[in-house]
């Protein structure tokens, strides 16, 4: 709980500093950072049991779901949402690493596509995701680069005041 409060405070301060007015996204990003503090959440296991450790692994997982005779659309939505979350997290928190190993443009494109997919599925669903209210995933898709930069800003400016916490991964 202390970690969640820290991320929430850091993101809200960053959003104020950057004049971003989206409480729903700030809440979602604090939840995302808290969730990804655990390695098994950042790198989930796919249908074959292997760890999904990069964007390509996640895209292949989404494709493999279509080959499964017991295809469940909600599982694809979960994978696509994770692609959006993973690319946003990596660009926001480990931007330099992404720049060294991959194209930031690729991460932006895949993240936007993933959130757009989730947004459209949510819009057409009888049971929409109401995480942080309204068309959250559409906003994440539309403003993906801005929110990645807000995470980067939070890391550089507000994470320096992090309390001493145990390692969770």
pLDDT digits (tens, 9 = 90+) for 19-74: 999 999 999 999 999 999 988 888 888 888 888 888 998 998 888 888 878 777 78
| Ordered DSSP codes for 79-111 | HHHHHHHHHHHHHHHSHHHHHHHS-HHHHHHHH
User: For residues 80 and 110, is the Cβ–Cβ distance under 8 A?
Assistant: no
For the entire predicted model, the pTM comes to 0.86
């Amino acid at each position: 709980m202390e970690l969640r409060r820290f991320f929430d405070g850091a993101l809200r301060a960053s959003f104020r500093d950057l004049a971003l007015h989206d409480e729903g996204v700030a809440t979602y990003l604090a939840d995302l950072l808290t969730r990804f503090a655990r390695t098994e959440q950042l790198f989930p296991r796919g249908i074959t049991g292997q760890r999904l450790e990069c964007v390509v692994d996640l895209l292949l997982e989404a494709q493999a779901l279509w080959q499964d005779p017991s295809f469940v659309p909600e599982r694809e939505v979960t994978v696509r949402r994770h692609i959006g979350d993973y690319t946003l997290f990596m660009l926001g928190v480990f931007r330099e690493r992404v720049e060294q190993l991959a194209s930031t443009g690729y991460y932006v494109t895949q993240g936007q596509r993933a959130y757009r997919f989730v947004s459209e599925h949510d819009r057409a669903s009888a049971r929409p995701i109401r995480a942080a209210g309204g068309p959250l995933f559409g906003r994440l898709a539309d403003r993906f680069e801005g929110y990645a930069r807000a995470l980067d800003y939070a890391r550089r400016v507000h994470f320096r005041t992090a309390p001493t916490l145990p390692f969770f991964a």
